[in-house]
Structure 1
Amino acid sequence: MRRKVNFKDMREKRCSGNSYYLLFSVLILFFFLSRLSLLAQTTSVPESGYRLSQPPAIYLETENIASEIISAEELARAMPFIKIVSSEAEAQVRVFIKRESREDKQIFLLHLQGLKELAGESDELKFELPLSASSPEIQKELLSVLRGSLMRFVGQSAISRRLQIKFLETVKPTAVADPWNFWTFNLNLSSFLNGEKSYNARNLFGSFSASRITPEWKIRLSLGGSWAESKYQYDSRVIRSTYEAENFQALIVRSINEHWSVGAYFTTMSSTYENVKLSLAPAPAIEFNLFPYSESTRRQLRFLYRLSFNAVSYREETIYLRTRENLWRQSLTAALELKRRWGTVSLSVQGSNYFHDWRQNRLTLSGEISLRLFKGLSFSLNGDYSRIHDQISLPRRGASLEEVILRRRQIETAYNYYFYISLNYTFGSILSKIVNPRFGEGGGFSIFISM
């Protein structure tokens, strides 16, 4: 018996089953799409509020701070959540740190400026340390302050999700006693020997210096001496040449206020080159700075007046028929120094004369310019020029040909000068400080032209 198939019912059941299957598929697809959307929102952090997808690029600039205390390399080691760049043009944050000395403390000023994507974000901070603080102590405090101040910029980067913040309990600082009372000393002894078949030279140098510098007082003492002997042989002729000089210099300065200082120099010297057997020269001085001394790391315009008395005896009779004399002399110096992000400019002019004859005078112009032209390229220029009309110690007998050629005697001149120019370009990694002593320091080449 054949069964009658109702195709209409089968089509309705099949359509009903397909509807359930379609609904179930849509639900599964919706579930996966929602998970993918959530995953996309999690991994694409910058699209959900962060300005930067990478660590912020930091350009560091310092003023009056030694490189062993803070440098780009040290920042890169201490803060792996930032990126150090070598020029401001590449940076998203410029960090400027300046050190100033006042009274018995040193002040550190920090200025952070957002650039490019972080434009509009900025911060300024200041903290103080005693003058006796050591370099490691300064570095530790500086990195701690800088790490906290950079958080406002790091927080704009997706890398901030990987940072953890810890709170350290306050530790009371302890006073650091300086057993040297701010005195520093330096002792140097050196000798140089050089020779060949027809020539030999011997040189001996020695010096001792002591200094004590605080915001109120500046004391510098130095003692030095040098001796040199040379022997030249040409055929049967032998030429011997000797030179010796000794000197002692002292300077003491007392701060009055932010613009005025008073002090005194004392110099004693002896020199075969200058025909001076013994010279004693005390000199009181006074200085005015147009800008506050606290801004000296940024700008200075100083005027220094110096009045000296010189009791001098000569090795040989001078061109003025003198073997000893007492002289009064004055000098005035104006010095300008500007330090900016683009470089440094220094200019000075000094005039001096003897009171017994104002025609015995000297005028000296000095200048130095150091410019950072752009990333890695720097330009330096410095020089000195003097108009000379005060050579009162020249020996009456003059100088022999050997003394002139070997520069063992001062000779008459109306001027002297020097000039120096330098162009330097550095590129590559600023973080490469690896030391590898293999094969010494050899390698590479250089070209030097002298005229």
Structure 2
Amino acid sequence: MKYVQKRLLQPTLMLTIFNHQERGNGLRTFISRKEVSALRNLLNFSIILISILVIWISPSYSQESEIDLKKMQESATKVFLDLSRRYQEYIKTEIPFVNYVRDRKEAQVHIMLTRQETGSGGTEYTLTLIGQQNYIGMDDTLKFVSQQMDTEEIIRGGIVRAIKMGLIRYVSKTPLAGDLSINYRRRADPNAVVDRWNYWVFNINTNSRLEGEESTKELRLRGSFSADRVTPDWKISLYISADYDKEEYKSDERIISSFTRSQDFQGLIIKSRGEHWSTGIYGSARSSIYSNIKFSYNIAPAIEYNVFPYSESTRREFRILYKAGYTDIRYDEVTIYDKIHENLFNESLSGTLEIKEKWGSVRTTLEGSNYFQDFSKNRIELFSDINIRLLKGLSLDLFGSISMIHDQLSLPKESATEEEMLLNQRLLATQYDYFTSIGLRYTFGSIYSNVVNSRFGGRRRRGYR
């Protein structure tokens, strides 16, 4: 048996061919360079051809998949989040099966979040889902209640769960419905609740602050205690606090000190009288160096009427409140009316309008008060906080208050020193005070706001000093 061994010139490739012949001696030969080149070209051509096929087929398949996913995402429900920015990024991350738009008029579902305090010190969050465009008439309301000691993670997790449940009815009408699943975590049947505290909630708070530089230092101490009991029929709130402030300024010539102290008590008992009426009684006691009040107390029965049902208070309310009561005041110093002690009868009437709708929100209070002994001793106060979405992407913010003051009965007869005025250590005579803020916001560009990117800690808006 003879064999022929043909060796390619490349050092990495050896090709051996066995050839059986009937006769003859063993023969070793080498293939020519021309044959090697042809074989190499054939191999390279095969590799290139296979690579082209892979490259041509893969993008085509990937592009088709991306197109399908893009079409599906474009058909997702468009949602406008009308709530605090502190929750928006978390919601967008946890609920990716809808499209978030930055203008309410582009949305198919407008989600509003309102809140109010519960009797236990927690918060009831009300989520109102309003259908728009092809979902007009499909509205819903869901609620989530947090406890007083719940962390931020627990609260925003509860809000997200409520939003998910509310969105199901809308998403079920889109192609994305096939990718959703609903899980149920069964819980044991709740037993009858036995509250050993009888709905009372107590809170103790203390706070201190020490701040200083080479020429200034400041010490502030705060303490408070509250007790609250809230049921559908009764609301009881008791609050007591004490404040102590001391500031000191050093100069080359002298040391200037400022010192104030105050104690305060407030009590409130309210009885529900149906969906529109409430009656109650206020009580308060106060001591304040700043206001020249050694000690005073006030007691005042009150009645309130709400034009809208109280059950709609998270969305709208128009409350009219009337109080009439008795006040006993003892002053630290003789007042400008030569009084050191007074017994007064007073009354007040206030109207509060709060509305939150798709076009924005309004919160306005107008209050007037006077003393029966002298109607010229009166006060009128107006407070307003308004946010209105004027046009697509354009919103107007208005915030302000103004007071007409003619009831400063506690002003000391002795004039305030320059130091007391500069350090805001004493109540000063005035016939009015005001504060106002006006702002316009305009946003334009892409209607979508789905993407969340937390790199570098997000965008920070800073002003100039």
Matched, 1:331 2:343: no
Matched, 1:192 2:217: no
Shift in Å, 1:85: 3.0
- For 1:204 and 1:132, the matched residues in 2 are separated by 28
Structure 2 partner of 1:183: 201
CA drift at 1:302: 1.3
2:79 to 59, 78, 89: 59
SS of equivalent residue, structure 2 residue 165: helix
Question: Equivalent residue for 1:83?
Answer: 99
Q: Distance in 2 between matches of 1:399 and 1:220?
A: 37
Deviation for aligned residue 1:110: 5.5
| Per-residue deviation, 1:265 | 1.4
Measure how far apart 1:94 and its partner are. Answer: 0.7
Deviation, 1:169, is 9.0
Indicate conservation of the 8 Å contact 1:56/1:153, yes or no: no
The alignment-based identity, stated in percent, is: 32
Asked whether the 8 Å contact 1:263–1:285 carries over to 2, the reply is yes
In structure 2, relative to structure 1, the CA distance for the partners of 1:411 and 1:126 (3 Å cut) is closer
Q: TM-score, normalised by structure 1?
A: 0.71
- Structure 1 residues 313 and 196: alpha-carbon distance in aligned structure 2, compared to 1, 3 A threshold: same
2:109 aligned partner: 94
Task: Give the drift of 1:393.
Answer: 1.0
2:410 aligned partner, one-letter code: S
- Indicate conservation of the 8 Å contact 1:228/1:244, yes or no: yes
Task: Please give the residue correspondences for 1:210-229 in structure 2 after superposition, counting only pairs within 5 Å.
Answer: 210-229=227-246
Alpha-carbon offset, residue 304 of structure 1: 0.6
| Residues 100 and 294 in structure 1, CA contact (< 8 A), matched pair in contact too | no
Report the CA distance shift for 1:52/1:239 in structure 2 as closer, same or farther (over 3 A): closer
What CA distance in whole angstroms lies between the structure 2 residues aligned with 1:100 and 1:384?
Answer: 23
TM-score by length of 2: 0.69
TM-superposed CA distance for 1:270, in Å, is 0.7
Mean CA deviation greater in 320-329 or 173-182: 173-182
Q: Is 1:309 the counterpart of 2:326 in the alignment?
A: yes
Cα distance between partner residues in 1 of 2:289 and 2:296: 12
SS across alignment from 1:360: strand
Q: Assess if the C-alpha contact under 8 Å between 1:364 and 1:387 holds in 2.
A: yes
Number of the residue aligned with 2:166? 146
Q: Aligned equivalents of 1:276 and 1:185: distance in 2?
A: 27
**Are residues 1:364 and 2:384 paired?**
no
Aligned counterparts of 2:397 and 2:372: Cα–Cα separation in 1: 38
Following superposition, the deviation at residue 367 of structure 1 comes to 1.6
Query: Counterpart of 1:322 in structure 2: which amino acid?
Result: K
Match 2:268 to one of 229, 251, 262: 251
Deviations 1:152-205 (A, max 9, x none): 322xx2x445x36568597664258466636262513122322323x3332222
Segments of 5+ residues of structure 1 without an aligned counterpart are 1-42
Q: C-alpha displacement at 1:132, in angstroms? A: 8.1
Show the counterpart of 1:35: none
CA distance in 2: counterparts of 1:149 and 1:95, whole angstroms: 14
In structure 2, relative to structure 1, the CA distance for the partners of 1:126 and 1:333 (3 Å cut) is closer
Query: In the TM superposition, what are the counterparts of 1:28-427 in structure 2 within 5 Å?
Result: 54-61=74-81, 73=89, 76-91=92-107, 93-96=108-111, 111=129, 113=131, 115=133, 119=134, 123-125=138-140, 139=159, 142=162, 145-146=165-166, 148-154=168-174, 157=175, 159-161=176-178, 163=179, 173-175=189-191, 177=193, 181=199, 183=201, 185-197=203-215, 199-373=216-390, 378-423=395-440
Q: 1:79–1:147: 8 Å Cα contact kept in structure 2?
A: no
Letter of the aligned partner of 1:113 in structure 2? Answer: G
The superposition leaves residues 413-438 of structure 1 with CA deviations (integer Å, 9 ceiling, x where unpaired) of: 2111122234456789565374877x
Kindly indicate whether the alpha-carbon contact (under 8 Å) linking 1:72 and 1:431 is maintained by their aligned counterparts in 2.
Answer: no
Offset of 1:269 from its aligned partner? Answer: 0.8
Give yes or no for contact 1:132–1:176 (8 Å, CA) kept in 2.
no
> Does structure 1 retain, via aligned residues, the 8 Å contact 2:129–2:166?
no
Q: Is the CA contact (8 Å cut-off) linking 1:285 and 1:305 kept in structure 2?
A: yes
Which amino acid letter does the alignment assign opposite residue 192 of structure 1?
L
What per-residue deviation string (whole Å, max 9, x for no partner) do you get for residues 373-412 of structure 1? 4666543221111111111111122222221222211122
- Matched with 1:15 is none
After TM superposition, give the deviation of residue 253 of structure 1 in Å: 1.6
Q: Return the letter of the residue paired with 1:394.
A: L
SS in structure 1 of the partner of residue 225 of structure 2: strand
Q: Which residue identity does 1:185 align to in structure 2? A: N
Give the gaps of 5 or more residues in structure 2: 1-63
Once residues 152 and 193 of structure 1 are traced to their aligned partners in structure 2, the CA distance between those partners, rounded to angstroms, is: 57
| Structure 2 SS opposite 1:395 | coil
What is the match of residue 29 of structure 2?
Answer: none
Q: Is the 8 A contact 2:140 2:166 kept in 1?
A: no
- Does the CA contact (< 8 Å) of 1:72 and 1:84 recur in 2? no
Aligned twin of 1:4: none
Moved more, 207-216 or 318-327: 207-216
Q: 1:243 to 1:444 in 2, by over 3 A?
A: same
Q: Residue 244 and residue 337 in structure 1: after superposition, are their counterparts in 2 closer, same or farther (change >3 A)?
A: same
Contact 1:312 1:325 in 2 (8 A): yes
346 and 53 in structure 1: CA distance in 2 versus 1, 3 angstrom threshold: closer
Counterparts of 1:435 and 1:284 in 2: how far apart (Å)?
Answer: 56
Give the SS at the match of 2:213: strand
In 1, distance between residues paired with 2:192 and 2:75? Answer: 38
Secondary structure, counterpart of 1:309 in structure 2: strand
Match of 2:46 in 1: none
3-state DSSP class of the match of 1:222?
Answer: strand
Distance 2:132 2:380 in 1: 48
Does the residue aligned with 2:162 lie in a helix, a strand or coil? helix
1:27 aligned partner = none
Distance 1:394 1:363 in 2: 19
User: Could you tell me whether the CA contact under 8 Å between 1:109 and 1:124 is conserved in 2?
Assistant: no
Whole-angstrom CA distance in 1 between matches of 2:143 and 2:255: 65
Distance 1:274-1:97 versus aligned 2 partners, 3 A rule = closer
Q: CA distance change for structure 1 residues 375 and 196 in 2, over 3 Å: closer, same or farther?
A: farther
Distance 1:395 1:294 in 2: 47
AA aligned to 2:411 is L
Instruction: Give the number of aligned pairs.
Output: 389
